[in-house]
Structure 1
Amino acid sequence: MSTPHPLDPLTAAELATGRAILAAAGLAGETIRVPQVLPVEPAKEEVRAGGGDRRIRYTLLDTATGRAGEAVVSVTKGELVSWDDWAEADGQPSYLFEEYAQAEQLTKASAEWQAAMTRRGLADRIEHAFCAPLAPGYFGREDETGRVIRSLTFLREDADDSPWAHPVEGLVVHLNLTEQRVLRVEDEGDVPVPAESGRYIGVPARTTLKPVEITQPAGPSFTVDGSEVTWEGWRLRVGFNAREGLTLHQMSFQDRPVLYRASVPEMVVPYGDVAPGRFWISYFDAGEYQFGKNGNDLRLGCDCVGEIRYFPAWVADDRGEPVEIPRAICLHEEDDGILWKHTDLGGHPEVRRSRRLVVSSISTIGNYDYGHYWYFHLDGSIEFEAKATGIVFCGAGEPGQDQPHATELAPGLFAPVHQHLFCARLDVEVDGDRTSLHEVDVEGVPTGPRNPYGNAFTWKTTPLRTEREAMRRADPARARVWEVRSASRVNRLGKPTAYQLVPRPSATLMAQPEATVHARATFATQHLWATPYREDERFPAGDRPNAHPGGAGLPAWTAADRDLVDTDLVLWHVFGPTHVPRPEDWPVMPVDRSGFLFRPAGFLDRNPALDLPSGDHCHP
């Protein structure tokens, strides 16, 4: 078997070896579970030298005691490298798949829950009830210590029915998973369960659409060697892990480095409803549930269309055993419209069509589905697009009632306002790892000697020299972008080569500073953060956001206000929809897109796509 690249995803053999090392060290007993398994990426200098120990970091949980900790093993050397216990105040590991079933079993076995269902006249519908296992946030309640989860109840017509259309409003069950007991049951109100079906399949298909066929008779333009992809001047490595899902590494254009690593390591979903069943909702979909572990096995012709290359991924199950996602990552090319065109004075048009390389994955976290799409363009730009779809999370209310925090989607069915705030981590490497950060705003010039006709405007560049200066909000009124400039290379005009982060902004975190989610998701209060590179600064809400009181991650790191000038920079960019649900979002939601662009700005001396062929499809 060939030696893996230091940044390659974990293999089945490595996961099996890692678990055997844990067992030999006495860390794989009958009650031990494995909530999270991540590769330990070697230091940059080791990667560049082509070496590096292949290591795995295991989060371990003793389900009998609630004790948790982290073990690092070397599969290269076959040994346990370290073991560290966690303090409970450091938060909880992400949830196990088996805990979802445990939460439902505990709920349905509860006499209080059964009494609440009976009081509501729902005793005959218990068999097909769905008791959703939901992260509780953090509120410092005395009985909510250790491994806690909440459960809300939804009804189904049968085992195959979508439950989200039939919420049992005001019924909240609080559970301690370690002690395997119900802490308390809240049963407030007597709102009827919405009756309208939420089924979204089986609708007669329209017959008016004609087929669209995508073919590449000569095959795709990219080449793949292991995890390395080469395409039209681009070179990159594809990675995947249980928490972040899709990761990208060592991206270069025309043999010049652009990004060392790119991923979306966290997303928080805070709800704006004050109802008892929803005020506490603020899911951290990577840190509490994990994008990669919930990755989809993609299907040709549905998730991806065209000449496709799939990459498998291996994750670990709750006991640390390897599990394959056969088609976790999709790689393909797609048409992207016109890249450039001009019709000259003689009436002769020249046009070149664009295409883009797409690297994508999709994860399903409960009721929502998230697509992560990285696009590589022929002009040297990199684009990220998040596609949110699935089923909006609903509660019940009186039909026709106006609610200040929720929209009525169907009679008596209300979807609360909420946000999906992603955080991208961009370890930039623009012509090397010594760079500086600048904010560029367009601004008008006051009428006067510098603007005698009132028409003038210009741009203003502000250096962001420290971490505090780099805590920034996007400003569309100023066409604000953030520019990463090389400290070691200039272009032919004598200016530092650079890339610009172009935001497509929406709201930042709407919760008030007094809200507990504000402390836990402080990263979402700015559109931009920047830090000097540190190997252990990977997750913007900290390593363990589940049941964490807050303050970890970016707010803790940036408190030192470290210098950012001519250093190895990491950008953290927050984006995503603030969702006021619409009736058109029901019963399944059309894709909601959000993202950003990372484009060259003086990195190249001219348009790099002048040599594109005119193509065989242009006709007089």
Structure 2
Amino acid sequence: MTLTAPSTTVSHPLSRLTAEEITAVSTIVRDAGLVKESSKFVYMGLEEPHKRDVLAWSPGQPVERRVRALLLDRATGNGRDLTVSITGAAVVRDDEIDGVADGQVPILDAEFEAIEPILAADERWVAAMAKRGLDVANVRAVPLSAGSYFPDETGDRVVRVLGFHQADPADLPWAHPVDGVVAYVDITRGVTTAVHDHFDLPVPAERADLDQATHPHPVRDLKPIEITQPEGPSFTVDDDVVRWAGWEFRVGFDAREGLVLHQLSIDGRSVVHRASIAEMVVPYADPSPVRFWQNYFDVGEYLFARYSNPLELGCDCLGEIHYFDGTLADEDGAPRVIRNAICLHEEDYGVGWKHTDLFNGMAETRRSRRLVISFFTTVGNYDYGFYWYLYTDGTIQLESKATGIVFTSAYRGEDHPYATEVAPGLGAPFHQHLFSARLDMAVDGTGNTVHEVEAVRMPMGEANPYGNAFMKRSTPLTRESEAQRLGDATVGRVWHVVNPSKTNRLGQPVGYALHPQNSPVLLADDQSSIHQRATFSTKSLWVTAYDPAERYPAGDFVNQHPGEGGLPTFVADDAPLEDTDVVLWHTFGLTHFPRPEDWPVMPTDYTGFTLKPVGFFDRNPALGVPQSTSTHCSSHDS
């Protein structure tokens, strides 16, 4: 059958997928005979061209559009990995996914929704609830990714399920965990393979309603704050290209990674070719037989950007705002629009630079400002916000915000030291939130070298007679085997990405420095299953030579993958890294020992990292920030 290539209106190789393109991909795949009645589209995303092709492309040249699509046959559990050429109206790659060696495709919403009826039909689950005086109809089944633990599950699509009691539609189930019971479900066959009733603990009774009767709290009397920009915002948006205060970048959005920044530059000089959150894992610390398996890869197993929030509903951004809709494919291959999925605005950020001089009488102040581009996603109980900040001094920052509801258990007492009691009889197990930022660097070009830079104390001696000296040590990371590093706050360890062929006016190579927050990496034992599957999170930094196929630090198919996927495979060839096209993979995150203050809804916690220019500019790039003319900024003279 000959297909006609659909028309496309995109103007750039990295333009976001349109609804028309998603429909075209679905049609091409169906016409190729690859979609059965039991098939579902798990994922659809732009297959981005090679970096060299993007950099060589000029406006007006043809745009080749290819899309990666993952299919699941729900009747068999088999997955397919496709590349579809929209331009050529053809499926150009069709690979079967080996569920044993490769892992499983991500979990569908339709699979999650099928769990409660499956459990309601299982006598063991019904009996376990009845034993606790609960009607199964009032128990919310929470299906969670299964990990990789038992040989008899290898190759099967499974989830593990915990129960939470919900007394009425307004009740928050997370307040009432039915602890001691866990069910294993084969979601392809639609059967419960096991129900383990390990112990019987009281179901916590206190509700989590946010009212004074349930949770008395002092009322804070705050006057309104209005953010206004009478002359409008300082940024412009043209075909997803944002320009602001010398910065320029292209907005991307993907069902797996969420917000992506492409071709980030300042003053016409490139800094980062592509930046995204490529994976995150949430490993729990409770070794209980009910929940030892709890660890979630929200990006690779759940495709967390599918759950992006429409941002105007909750006053998520303030000021003069530009919203971007997110267009994704639903499980039937049809376009689905998330209205206002991405928020763009600018905000004041205090004093940028200031000096009052006693000799020449100068008194100068410039306020800092930052451009904010963000999205928020809700994955089960947790809500995550990802905020990219660009500053007037050339700084780039990523801040991840974690809020929502902590995952709960029954509190078993101080003899089970893996959880905090946050309400009467209610526990919150210890856990980590570990993110991996993929930073495809291009510091003033693609020939870059990464140096590990740290402070060195100098011993007292002839060259340091008073013992006050310390120096800076810079060590190039020349091969992938050398570029697997841990942070070290005791020596102020940072990593400089420099371009050895470009220098500033002082003859120094231009560069940007990655400043980590130096939080713990993965705390699980080296022999654990989660260590094998989330090896990326055992190091603060990995550096790899650019390869367009290396997109995800835990591998392409994270769900039930046995381990060693992603970065351990990427670095196996020990590629050289000097003066070449490099990608930084930075692990950062939170180690969460919950507090009573985290209940019934968690105050936002923060983590992230910073990229700061080091010799990239000849002088302070914020010198050009104008004096404030706001009526809120006054002097004694006025």
Normalising by structure 1, we get a TM-score of: 0.97
- Taking the TM superposition and a 5 Å limit, the aligned residue runs for 1:141-220 are 141-143=151-153, 145-200=155-210, 206=219, 208-220=221-233
Tell me what 2:379 maps to: 365
C-alpha contact 2:411 2:419 (8 A) present in aligned 1: no
Name the Cα RMSD after superposition.
1.4
Amino acid at match of 1:81: V
Distance 1:351 1:465 in 2: 43
- Equivalent residues of 2:198, 2:290 under 8 A apart: no
The whole-number CA distance in structure 1 between the counterparts of 2:220 and 2:272 is: 46
CA distance in 2, matches of 1:253, 1:387: 26
Distance 2:394 2:610 in 1: 11
Pick which of 3-12 and 208-217 moved more. Answer: 3-12
Q: TM-score, normalised by structure 2?
A: 0.95
Find the partner of 2:95 among 84, 108, 112. Answer: 84
**Shift in CA distance, 205/219, structure 1 to aligned 2, threshold 3 Å:** farther
Structure 2 partner of 1:437? 450
Would you say the 8 A contact 1:432–1:488 is kept in 2?
A: no
Q: Which runs of 5+ in 2 are unaligned?
A: 1-7
Give distance in 1, aligned partners of 2:205 and 2:188. Answer: 36
Correspondence 1:409-420 to 2 at 5 A: 409-420=422-433
CA-CA distance at 1:319 after TM superposition: 1.4
Distance in 2 separating the partners of 1:608 and 1:63: 55
- When structure 1 is superposed on structure 2, of 6-15 and 198-207 the one drifting more is 198-207
Which of 448, 455, 462 is the matching residue for 1:449? Answer: 462
Cα offset for 1:46?
Answer: 2.4
Residue in 1 that maps onto 2:5: none
Structure 1 CA distance for aligned equivalents of residues 166 and 288 of structure 2: 22
Confirm or deny that 1:383 pairs with 2:397: yes
1:114 aligns with 2:126: yes
Q: Is the 8 A contact 1:104 1:151 kept in 2?
A: no
**Residue number among 1, 4, 7 corresponding to 2:14 in the alignment:** 7
1:329-478 map, 5 Å: 329-345=342-358, 348-398=362-412, 401-478=414-491
The 8 Å contact of residues 107 and 151 in structure 1, kept in 2 or not, is answered as no
SS at match of 2:624: coil
Which residue of structure 1 aligns with residue 242 of structure 2?
229
Question: Partner of 2:84 in structure 1?
Answer: 73
**SS across alignment from 1:4:** coil
State the partner residue of 2:315: 302
In the other structure, the counterpart of 1:618 is: 634
Find the counterpart in structure 2 of residue 102 from structure 1: 114
Q: What CA deviation, in whole Å up to 9, does each residue of 1:114-164 have, x standing for no partner?
A: 0111112213xx323110010011113314531101110001121232111
Q: How does 1:470-549 map onto structure 2 within 5 Å?
A: 470-549=483-562
Corresponding residue of 1:327: 340
Structure 1 CA distance, aligned partners of 2:330 and 2:117? 20
2:87 match: secondary structure = coil
Determine if contact 1:192/1:397 at 8 Å carries over to the other structure: no
Amino acid at match of 2:115: A
Among candidates 5, 18, 26, match of residue 19 of structure 1: 26
Q: What is the CA–CA distance in structure 2 between the aligned matches of 1:458 and 1:141, rounded to whole Å?
A: 53
Distance 1:225 1:157 in 2: 50
Measured after TM superposition, the shift of residue 56 of structure 1 is 1.1
1:201 positional shift: 6.0
What residue identity is the alignment partner of 1:524?
S
2:339 maps to amino acid? P
Aligned 8 A contact 2:176 2:205 in 1: yes
1:36 is displaced (CA, Å) by: 1.4
Letter of the aligned partner of 1:276 in structure 2? P
Q: Match for 2:248: what amino acid? A: R
Q: Is residue 2:49 matched to residue 1:37?
A: no
Supply the distance in 1 between the matched residues of 2:46 and 2:616 (Cα, whole angstroms).
Answer: 33
Q: C-alpha displacement at 1:276, in angstroms?
A: 1.9
Q: Secondary structure at the match of 1:72?
A: strand
Report if aligned partners of 2:499, 2:511 keep a CA contact under 8 Å in 1: yes
- The answer to whether structure 1 residue 582 and structure 2 residue 599 are counterparts is no
Range with bigger deviation, 3-12 or 443-452 = 3-12
SS state at 1:610 partner: helix
Per the TM alignment, residue 45 of structure 1 is displaced from its structure 2 partner at its CA by: 2.7
- Report the residue type matching 1:158 in the other structure: D
**1:611 deviation in Å?**
2.0
Amino acid at match of 1:370: Y
Corresponding residue for 1:63?
74
- 1:257-276 aligned within 5 A: 257-276=270-289
Equivalent residue pairs, number: 617
Query: 1:110 corresponds to which letter in structure 2?
Result: D
In structure 2, the partner of 1:47 is 54
Counterpart for residue 249 of structure 1: 262
CA distance in 2, matches of 1:152, 1:145: 22
- Superposed CA deviations along residues 157-205 of structure 1, whole A, max 9, x for unmatched, are 2123211110000110100011111101011211000001122368789
CA distance in 2, matches of 1:453, 1:94: 61
CA distance in 1, matches of 2:291, 2:518: 26
Q: Report the Cα offset of residue 618 of structure 1.
A: 3.3
* CA distance in structure 2 between the aligned counterparts of 1:45 and 1:453, rounded to whole angstroms: 53
Relative to structure 1, the CA distance from residue 281 to residue 568 in structure 2 (aligned partners, 3 Å threshold; closer, same or farther) is same
Q: Deviations over 1:242-268 (max 9, x none)?
A: 000000000001100000000001001
Distance across 2 between alignment mates of 1:364 and 1:297: 11
Q: Distance in 1 between matches of 2:390 and 2:481?
A: 31
- Tell me the distance in 2 between the aligned counterparts of 1:382 and 1:137: 35
CA distance in 2, matches of 1:372, 1:596: 12
In 2 relative to 1, CA 61–129 (structure 1 residues): closer, same or farther, beyond 3 Å? same
Question: Would the aligned equivalents of 2:311 and 2:342 in 1 still touch at CA under 8 Å?
Answer: yes
AA paired with 2:34?
L
2:3 aligned partner? none
**Superposed displacement of residue 348, structure 1:** 4.4
CA distance in 1: counterparts of 2:76 and 2:570, whole angstroms: 32
CA shift at 1:334, angstroms?
A: 0.6
Q: Distance in 1 between matches of 2:336 and 2:363?
A: 54
CA distance in 2 between partners of 1:397 and 1:607 (Å): 54
After the TM superposition, which of the residue ranges 66-75 and 352-361 deviates more from structure 2?
A: 66-75
Q: Secondary structure at the match of 1:287?
A: coil
CA-CA distance at 1:74 after TM superposition? 1.3
Counterpart residue identity of residue 315, structure 2:
C
CA distance in 1, matches of 2:170, 2:13: 44
CA distance in 2, matches of 1:557, 1:510: 23
Q: Which deviates more from structure 2 when the two are superposed, residues 485-494 or residues 529-538?
A: 485-494
Deviation, structure 1 residue 349 = 2.2
Unaligned runs of 5+ in 1: none
CA distance in 1, matches of 2:320, 2:466: 56
The amino acid of 1:568's aligned partner reads D
* CA positional deviation for 1:301: 6.3
1-structure distance, mates of 2:28, 2:499? 44
Structure 1 residue identity aligned to 2:53: E
Q: Does the CA contact (< 8 Å) of 1:34 and 1:59 recur in 2?
A: yes
Shift in Å, 1:513: 1.0
User: 3-state SS of the aligned residue for 2:115?
Assistant: helix
C-alpha separation between the residues in 2 aligned to 1:213 and 1:397? 43
Contact 1:42–1:52 (8 Å) recurs in 2: no
Query: Matched residue of 2:608: which SS?
Result: strand
